Chains A and B, each alone.
Chain A
């Protein structure tokens, strides 16, 4: 009733079916995620850039922080999805500033306590935004705590040490460094690279996680510079 299983047409069909399997596996596991990831990054960058138009001194801030944070995370041994997540978190982290009044962001004088309170609400708003999106909800925590300091002096919750998610500690260092070296309304003269690095190093164990600072100085090539300086002396 059936023909020979080794009928050439059957073999050809089986071959085609197997290639279809391989192809669809490749597309769904490698090609598609990569393509979607690029689309995501592009769109979130555009949205972050839109928020930055409010905050005159910070154009490109999110993008630069994201690059720095990814470098740092790589140095600290992050891989794959975790690396992507820190990139998204860096891009999203200041989106909460959409809800902070314009006047406050561009104020030259020191802020009053009430104004601080409003400004300090931005991680919370950013986290809320992230939590509203199923795809991003697991990074709400990183966004929420990106202004926490190692010794518990940060906001919003005053967490200290290891209580702060590692991703947030990384974001904190990267964001602070970028803020130091770029022009802001409250410090019109930005620090030089060396001054900023010194500042970050001084903050190790006080504001920043020493481990993250170590990695940060490494990628900034500080060791090499120090060695050179020692040789010269």
Chain B
């Protein structure tokens, strides 16, 4: 498990072996019946259309993490399709054959979540994704095949194909077997005895569940292993990562899939009664639904991205804070994990770490930068920032649950700190206490000025390396920010230990110390 790639290969091989076994099993037990070839042809046409009608991977000059929109949209269509098609095809075997053949072609051409598991991120410039014309569609496909082959080495392309087709074979084959064992029927001859519930609907949902469980089970394990969380014990980190990937990727998709599975059910019913023409009748609904999910996910992601970026950007008026915020975000996330908080909270912790100081936007820089003692009035101004920040965040719909974390991140465990008279010290949300510890530790140990390029604020002069003059030698302007000497890590740890129970939440400090002793201070922030 130490080498992610090896693990990936092992999983691929296991899946492949299982896939071969299940294919052989199906070959023997479910021989083709009925009008096999029309079904195969319709199926290929249909899935090809559905899968290649563009999923935007890159917008403008920025590549969007393909895991989200692309993944969701492709799986939204794929999940129920697997189910549909098993029922539809005249037999499991016929379906398996088309499925594998199609998937081989598709893996080459289409980028999807599984594809991104192997390193370099493919960039697909896919401006014509809404282009329904044949030319646009062909260009699209060729561009994708080309960029995938170009961006990845042959090895990983082969690995992806093997893994993807095995996963699909497994999820289709096994769920088809489940369908058959539950008493499901494939084609209904007119006048034959047929119970809708026991011979169609119930087995169908058994099939959908099995297929979803197999696919996502394998994906979750793979994602967890390719992108493990640093800073916690291995087994726990692994399990937690699985859980997080389920919450992040699987649950939103599941909702869509269960909805689509109803469509799929009707789709299958049509096929069972009127044959291959059922495909024709159902093409439009499935395509528009796919488009709908695609759009929904894209807008949602774009919205969250936009607002978080803007909010983060806004507090970057000090180049110094950039590194600080990122480190606080990282530390808070690790601490939350160390404290075994629920996965939903861990996911939000990063954002919270990034924007916990957003209220400082309303505080004058003179006060923030002041190195001498502050007057009472100035203190009062500074003390407003958590409340101001909470107020700003409360307007941003999807950040509602971090409002209190931001509001109380300067409240002490013993009730001191600010905002005064707000809550009892012991009722501070633990997330706020986490941000407080991360913030304090990073502020104490941060040698901000030394790590950053020195640049004059007014004329932009940059002295040679390692020189940090107090006044700009060209225009004579004074450097706005002068920092004190940073504390060493030991000193900072002592400070935290002393503050535990009064300023800091003891449990958080304890977790922090354990984490520090185990992992050191290595931070992910660059």
> B-contacting residues of A (Cβ < 8 Å)?
1-5, 7, 9-10, 13-14, 16-18, 20-21, 24-25, 27-28, 32-33, 36, 39-40, 42-47, 49-51, 53-54, 95, 98-103, 114, 117-118, 129, 132-137
Is the pair B282, A133 in contact by a Cβ cutoff of 8 Å? no
CB distance from A173 to the nearest CB of B (A): 25
Cross-chain contact of A133 among B285, B291, B305, B362 (Cβ < 8 A): B305
| B418: interface (CB < 8 Å) | no
Q: Is B295 an interface residue (CB 8 A)?
A: yes
B465 within 8 A of A: no
Distance in angstroms between the alpha carbons of A194 and B453 in the assembled complex? 51
**Chain B interface main SS type:** helix
Give the residue of B62, B285, B396 whose beta carbon is less than 8 angstroms from that of A46.
B396
B291 touching A24, Cβ below 8 Å: yes
Whether, in the assembled complex, B72 has its beta carbon less than 8 Å from a beta carbon of chain A, the answer is no
**Do A17 and B281 touch across chains, with their CB atoms under 8 A apart?**
yes
> Is the Cβ of B313 less than 8 Å from the Cβ of A103?
no
For residue B430, give the distance in angstroms from its CB to the closest CB of chain A. Answer: 27
Chain A neighbourhood of B267, CB < 8 A:
17
Verify B291–A54 contact, CB threshold 8 A: no
Q: Are the C-beta atoms of A3 and B299 separated by less than 8 Å? A: no
Given A1-B187, A13-B266, A17-B266, answer yes or no on A98-B314 (Cβ-Cβ < 8 Å): yes
Number of interface residues of B (CB under 8 A): 61
Q: Contact: B190 with A2, CB < 8 Å?
A: yes
> Which chain A residues lie closer than 8 Å to B313 at the CB level?
98, 129, 132
Give CA–CA (A118, B396) in the complex, Å: 30
Taking a contact as CB atoms under 8 Å apart, the answer to whether B388 and A53 are in contact is yes
Which B residues are in CB contact (< 8 Å) with A137? 60
- Are B395 and A98 in contact, CB atoms less than 8 angstroms apart? no
- Interface Cβ pair total, 8 Å cutoff: 159
Chain A, residue nearest B364 (CB): A102
Chain A contacts of B285 at CB under 8 A? 17-18, 20-21, 24
- Tell whether, in the assembled complex, residue A21 and residue B284 are in contact, meaning their CB atoms are under 8 Å apart: yes
- In the assembled complex, 28 residue pairs joining A and B whose CB atoms fall closer than 8 Å, in A order, are A2-B275, A3-B190, A3-B274, A10-B274, A14-B281, A17-B282, A17-B284, A20-B263, A20-B285, A20-B288, A21-B284, A21-B285, A27-B292, A28-B296, A32-B296, A36-B299, A43-B303, A43-B307, A47-B392, A95-B314, A98-B314, A99-B317, A100-B317, A103-B366, A114-B475, A129-B310, A129-B313, A134-B302
Across the interface, which residues of A come within 8 angstroms of B64, CB to CB? 134
Is B309's CB under 8 angstroms from A3's CB?
no
Evaluate contact between B303 and A50: CB separation under 8 angstroms.
Answer: no
CB nearest to B361 among chain A residues:
A50
Q: Are B62 and A134 in contact (CB under 8 A)?
A: yes
Asked if B220 CB lies within 8 Å of chain A CBs, one says no
Partner among B273, B366, B388 whose Cβ is within 8 Å of the Cβ of A9: B273
Inter-chain CA distance A146–B508, complex, in Å, is 48
Residue-wise, chain B 175-188 has the 8 Å CB interface mask toward A (1 for contact) of 00000000000011
Contact call A1/B190, Cβ cutoff below 8 A: yes
B316 at the interface (CB under 8 A from A): yes
Contact B263 A17 (CB under 8 A): yes
Quick one: which of A28, A33, A129 contacts B291, CB cutoff 8 A? A28
Q: For residue B393, which residue of chain A has the nearest CB?
A: A46
Check A40 against B306 for contact (C-beta < 8 Å). yes
